[in-house]
Structures are given as C-alpha cells and as structure tokens.
Chain A
C-alpha cells in the first residue's frame, strides 16, 4: 500500500509463518522488477528479480509474483525467520532492453518477525 508521511506500511508476522509483501507500480513501460531488503543502518541488498515476460519466479524461500494487468508485484517469504526483519523495497526499470537501467524504488514495507 501507499505510505503516508513518515509512516511505512508495516507487516508483522510470527516466526515460521509465510509473509506476503505487496507493491503497486504505475509505469506501464516498466518491464523489469526487483526486490531489495534493507536491514537497519545498512544499504539495500538484492533479493530477486523478474522480467515482464514472466508471472512468477522462485528463489530460496522467496517467490515473486507479477500481475501486469493490475500493475502489482508481490514478494512471498516462506517460513519467515527473525533475520528476515527488514524494510523491503520493490524497484522497477522501464524499457530495460535499451540503455536504461535507472531504477525507481517504491517507499518500502517494514517486516517485523515476532519470535
């Protein structure tokens, strides 16, 4: 969802549960999407990417789903662990097949995992 002012969307889950983090994008020309994880006081780290010719991509404990019809992206984390607690950002690149590789980041979602 949208963040308002200084407040990030937040998601609180129990350890071991699955987490789903959502992201809406608005640029119809975006054809490459990436999820990043940012732990407190650190720089973001790449998690997984997906191109627009795919609907789903799986990694280790993570799955990204892309719905181009409604311009929606989600990140699913299986068996969420305390180490997964972080801010998660989606990012998009329009017309990535050309020379453009300038990412636009979303505002982020704060995931808190309760032991």
Chain B
C-alpha cells in the first residue's frame, strides 16, 4: 500500500534532549512537509521540501532541523532550542505539478511529550 509512515507514534523526551521524528513515503511525491498541531489549533508549517537536497523554512522553523537526502525520507529533528516542543507532529507529501497540488497526503502523526 502506498502512503506516509511516521515513527514513532508516541515519544517522550527529557528537557535538553534532541529527538528525531521519522517520515517515509512511497508515493513518489517530490514535495514533503512537516506541520505542528497544538490542541485546538490549526496546522502550522515547520519546514517543507520540494526536491531532494533542498528545503525551506516554514512559519515556525526555529528550534527544528530537517534533511532531505532521499526522495522518500524527510526526518525532523526537534532540538533543545525549541522552547515548547510538546505537540502533535504531522508529516505530509504531495505532487509538485499537475493535478491537485493542494492535496497533501498525511501520515498518522507523532505525539511528542517533553517531561
């Protein structure tokens, strides 16, 4: 089955630790995204990538880092510099040209809790 796989589903972190959230897609999509969702809030864009080895900051990139070494993978690292990292993190992918470019395919999310 084609889709987006995020892991882990739940993650606990102590303050001061970096953590990396995994996102893999087998949809052959060029674009990938990371969003953060807080209770009762919409989705806020952290980083996005249109092509391998290139990525751009979204609206709330501070305290986060990403890499795009492979088309299928777009891991997100939540660093100790992120002041309020407890949230639900969603990875998504999409085509770049043609069709419904607004149609993002989302993973099931990773819930990060800082203890």
Residues of chain A having any CB pair with chain B under 8 Å: 3, 5-8, 32-34, 36, 41-46, 49, 89, 91, 93, 96, 99, 101-108
Q: A103 contacts B104, CB within 8 Å?
A: yes
Assess the B58–A44 pair: CB atoms within 8 A: no
Name the distance in Å between A64's Cβ and chain B's nearest Cβ.
12
Q: Which residue of B lies closest to A45 (CB)?
A: B106
Given contacts A3-B40, A108-B42, contact A43 B94 (CB under 8 A): no
| Interface positions of B (Cβ within 8 A of A) | 4, 31, 35, 39-45, 48, 50, 58, 90, 92, 94, 96, 100-109
Jot down 21 A-B pairs with beta carbons below 8 A, ordered by A.
A5-B40, A6-B40, A7-B40, A8-B40, A33-B102, A43-B90, A43-B107, A46-B102, A46-B104, A89-B42, A89-B43, A96-B101, A99-B50, A101-B94, A101-B101, A102-B58, A103-B45, A105-B42, A105-B43, A108-B40, A108-B41
For the complex, what is the distance from the CA of A32 to the CA of B43, rounded to whole Å?
Answer: 17
- Given A49-B102, A91-B102, A101-B96: A43 in contact with B108 (beta carbons within 8 A): yes
Q: How far is the CA of A107 from the CA of B44 in the complex (A)?
A: 10
Q: Which of B43, B94, B100, B107 has the most CB of A within 10 A?
A: B43
| Most B Cβ at <10 Å: residue of A33, A91, A93, A102 | A102
Determine if B109 and A103 form an interchain contact, defined as CB atoms under 8 angstroms apart: no
Chain A residues with CB under 8 A of B105: 46
CB of A101 to closest CB in B, whole Å: 5
